[in-house]
Amino acid sequence: MMVLEPDVARAARAYIGVHQVRLAELAGVSSRTVYKLEKDGDITPQTLEKILRVFEQRGVTFSYDVEGRITGMTFRPRPGRGRWGSTLQIP
């Protein structure tokens, strides 16, 4: 089962530059769902897949451990932000 920690969800959303309501619109979920994800991570696996798809479409690549927990993110370079992406490892 995939797990996205609330602080990682907030970081990914900040990277793609959208607020909670816009992320919800892009993923086809309610804004309350995005709020719950960022508060305690308690959303269904199907809903999490929709949100992860939006992040990945906008340049965030996640790394997973064997239990499905996200252990890091790689950010694709954004136009006007230099030529290199960034990597974040989660302790």
For 20-52, write each residue's pLDDT tens digit.
999 999 999 999 999 999 999 889 999 999 999
1 lies in some domain = no
Which uninterrupted H or E stretch holds 26?
A: helix 20-27
Looking at residue 54, which CATH number applies to its domain? Answer: 1.10.260.40
Q: Can you point out the beta strands (E) in the chain?
A: 60-64, 70-75, 86-89
Domain with 34 in it = 6-89
pTM of the model: 0.80
Q: Identify whether 48 is part of a domain.
A: yes
**CA proximity to 29, closest of 52, 4, 1:** 52
Does any domain span residue 85?
yes
- CA distances to 8, 34, 60, 75 from 89, rounded to whole Å, are 10, 23, 13, 11
Q: How many domains does the chain have?
A: 1
What values do phi and psi take at 23, rounded to 5? -60, -40
Confidence (pLDDT) at 29: 98
Q: Is residue 71 part of a domain?
A: yes
